[in-house]
Amino acid sequence: MYIIFYTMRRRLLFHTIVKQLQHKNALVITGMRQVGKTTLMKQLYDEWTGPKLWFDFDNPLDMMVFENPDYRAIFENLRIKAGVSVNERLLVCIDEIQNMPEITRIIKFLIDHSGVKFILTGSSNFYLRNLFPESLSGRKFLYHLPVLSYKEYLYFNDKLDSEAIEPQTEALVAAKMGAEAYRNRELFDSYLKYGGFPEVAMTPDPETKLLVIRNIFSSFFEKDVRVFDEFREVRELRNLILLLAPRNGGLIDVSRLSAELGVNRVKIYSYLELLEGTFFLKLLPRFTGSIDRQVAGGKKVYFTDTGLLNLAGNVTDGQLLEVAVHNALMSYGQLSFYNKRNTAELDFILNGETGFEVKQTATPHDLVRVRKLGSALGLKQTRLISGNITDLEDVIYPWHL
């Protein structure tokens, strides 16, 4: 196995997954390319004390081991290769599983009949969702690895120790004021500008950071956009991304996108499905609360990384801030938004209970409005998030999420 891991720092998700290392189910790690799935799997691989094997399905030679139609022969080959003795359990790690769809039937057989433990990575829900519903039903735990949170970004830049980034028990970290809050945000502007891909975070030179982001964007088209046979469709997808960048945080108007691109609505929907399925962006659903249950449809679009968003178009500081808040809140549960014909809105509603409004600089008027709207929607609480330090006491800062 000849793989270079540029960092072995542990992500927050490691602490969740490692608890299931001895469970019978396969552990499936999904996420966009270069968010650190392979590194995370290597860390779990190193935690395993018994016999183990590693396969990279970007390498066709590694697939050959699983091409035998006799599944028992496959296990016997794996057992010999790993030197498995009596009563030992074998761990098999497979990187980029979506490159061999038929592997899931083999995995099911080896879990059921030989007790093999699998850890799998895949870069696309768009492809994986068709693999798992039947063949691995009830035999997998599925995890999504996002780009770095700001807390992880600080850790990757040696501003926090490893204990400081481990999962906390409280639902949200309480906001702090004054100089301490300002010190905690010392890298926040860099985080907004360059985003949270681990290699970007670990690269000190700004120009090199931009080159890495461009490479990540290029690899998306080289490896993830495999369903298109025609260059025209790749170009349409690229142009859609460029159109969506300045619309980040806004409602998607499919008819307008269709008209601007000269592409029919059905294809726009399929492109959006692909972009969300490959974790390039997230489509946020509308909250239908007690006072507005008749309002339905319409989604907001958020890029999953601020660095990619900056690369794709000229966006405002407010849009970058909103993406960072969106990504942070996603780790706490399900998100939606509220918008009543553009006359009343809340940027985010967490788990149908807590409303959040994001402002560059929060004001007392913002606080009154948010609380009033939250009460009308029947939310348990509403919070104001400010991108700049203010004198308001009841405010959250994004670098504390």
Plot region of 66 (φ>0 → left; ψ -120 to 50 → alpha; else → beta): alpha
Looking at the fold, whether 354 and 233 belong to one and the same domain comes out as yes
Looking at the fold, whether 113 and 87 belong to one and the same domain comes out as yes
Domain boundary among 144, 176, 205: 144
Whether residue 158 has pLDDT greater than 90: no
Looking at the fold, whether 295 and 363 belong to one and the same domain comes out as yes
Q: What angle, 0 to 180 degrees and rounded to 10, lies between the N-to-C axes of helices 71-82 and 103-114? A: 70
Instruction: Average the pLDDT over 161-168 and give the result.
Output: 66
Instruction: Average the pLDDT over 100-123 and give the result.
Output: 92
Looking at the fold, whether 171 and 94 belong to one and the same domain comes out as no
Strand order in the sheet with 52-56: 52-56, 91-95, 117-122, 26-30, 140-144
Instruction: Average the pLDDT over 82-99 and give the result.
Output: 92
Residues 6+ apart with CB under 8 A from 265: 254, 255, 258
Looking at the fold, whether 132 and 161 belong to one and the same domain comes out as no
Return mean pLDDT, the chain. Answer: 87
Looking at the fold, whether 167 and 112 belong to one and the same domain comes out as no
Strand order in the sheet with 344-350: 335-340, 344-350, 354-359, 381-386
Domain boundary among 83, 112, 144: 144
| 2 domain-assigned | no
| 3 domain-assigned | no
Taking only the tens place, the pLDDT of each residue in 10-56 is 999 999 999 999 999 999 999 998 999 999 999 999 999 999 999 99
Query: What is the pTM assigned to this prediction?
Result: 0.88
| Owning domain of residue 373 | 153-400
Domain count, the chain: 2
Lowest mean pLDDT among 105-109, 277-281, 287-291, 322-326: 287-291
Distance CA 388, CA 182 (A): 9
Distance CA 377, CA 385 (A): 19
| 5 domain-assigned | no
* pLDDT greater at residue 180 or residue 136: 136
